[in-house]
Amino acid sequence: MIDLPSAPSRPGKATLAALPTRGRRLRRTPALRALVRETRLDPSMLVMPMFIRSGDGVREPIGSLPGIERLSADQAIVDARRLADLGVGGVLLFGLPDAKDSIGSGAWADDGVVQDALRRLRAADLPLVLIADTCLCEYTDHGHCGPLAPDGSVANDAALERLAVTAVSQARAGADIVAPSAMMDGQIAAIRAALDAADLGSTSIMAYAAKTASAFYSPFRDAAGSAPAFGDRRGYQMDPANGREALRELRQDVAEGADLLLVKPGLPCLDHIVAARAAFDLPVAAYQVSGEFAMIAAAAERGWIDGRRVLTESVLSIQRAGADIVITYGAADLAAWIAEERVPLAGAGAIR
């Protein structure tokens, strides 16, 4: 039990003087609060997801993700330039093919939508890290993350072969990082071996190491047209109820050669982020997924919340838990808001 100073018989100045520590002293002004702030967002730690489709001049609004659009590659470059000007760290590309098949062959096509966008972005020479989502669910006609076994389940080892080929194709097209999100056992080892064999050993792997079968992904599946045609993905994505399992998954991906670790979703899995940060010295990323963003955007549109403050607070909480990188659909907004707050001092300049 903490011993508090005894209060005098009458309240007054003696009561105030008896408190040696007052938290409010450092909360009194905006300048004081900024000076002692423990967690500081920076645009360079943010990654913007992009949905890439074929065509030119295409911008398709996504009803379930206010402010987010499906983009043709030329328009993705326009947005990427703005993101680079704002200091955003990178973009994460998801492909929306014109045709799908049972094995997801569009994922590794040399002329695929993501490969085309990667080449164009690489040629634009922007100061952005280019990340490619390495999965098959957007490319299969059944919406699952790999070829199907006779019993209707995803054939894990057959999926590994296709994921490895996809990663090599994306790396050749210009991806700095490939990000396998299928949650297949052994996917990091298979991709690492394939990249090394193709003389692409400098390409990094961001492992979707702790990815739960979350209900927060619905707007993404609307945007990408990747909802499963039958069943669900709980046979290969983690049970949201499990915490210790997340640590096992993280540990396995580190052992297989992951360069970065990703936790998904973000806010519902803050404990996974904390565990990853405590256990490993690799960079830790977290994905503020579509459902998290859509809830904030929808409530803000209705005037129920201050969208700017809630989005900022949500991402700050993910960073505070231990994430070095945050993937968020609010990356552009957050970066713009940060820039607004960084007003240079009049007369600042050369060191004297």
Over residues 274-300, the pLDDT tens digits come to: 999 999 999 999 999 999 999 999 999
Q: Is the pLDDT of residue 350 over 50?
A: no
In the chain, DSSP assigns E strands to 46-53, 59-61, 69-72, 90-96, 129-134, 177-180, 204-211, 260-264, 284-288, 325-328
Q: Using alpha carbons only, how large is the chain's radius of gyration in Å?
A: 23
Inside any domain, residue 213: yes
Q: Is residue 347 part of a domain?
A: no
Strand, helix or coil at 68?
A: coil
Distance CA 270, CA 321 (A): 6
**Number of domains observed in the structure of the chain:** 1
- Tokens, residue 219: 């707007």
Q: Is the pLDDT of residue 346 over 70?
A: no
Query: Does the pLDDT at position 345 exceed 60?
Result: no
Q: Is residue 1 part of a domain?
A: no
CATH number of the domain enclosing 105: 3.20.20.70
Angle 36-37-42 from CA coordinates, rounded to 5°: 135
User: Has residue 12 been placed in a domain?
Assistant: no
Residue 13 is predicted with a pLDDT of: 57
Distance, in Å, from the CA atom of 60 to the CA atom of 71, rounded to the nearest integer, reads: 7
The answer to whether residue 7 sits within a structural domain is no
In the set 70, 211, 272, 277, the catalytic residue is 211
Rounded Cα distance, 253 and 247, in Å: 10
10 Å Cβ neighbour count for 2? 3
Distance CA 189, CA 252 (A): 10
Residue 343 has pLDDT above 80, yes or no: no
Both tokens assigned to 77: 């470059």
Tell me if 94 is assigned to some domain.
yes
Q: Which of 144, 264, 272, 277 is catalytic?
A: 264
* Residue 348 located in a structural domain: no
100 counts as catalytic: no
pLDDT per residue as tens digits for the range 135-180: 999 999 888 888 898 998 889 999 999 999 999 999 999 999 999 9
Q: Annotated catalytic, 211?
A: yes
> pTM of the entire structure?
0.91
Q: Is residue 18 part of a domain?
A: no
| Contact (CB, 8 A) for 159 and 182 | yes
Q: Which domain holds residue 304?
A: 41-341
Look at residues 236, 212, 178 and name the one whose alpha carbon lies nearest to residue 289: 212
Question: What does the block give as tokens for 298?
Answer: 């929808």
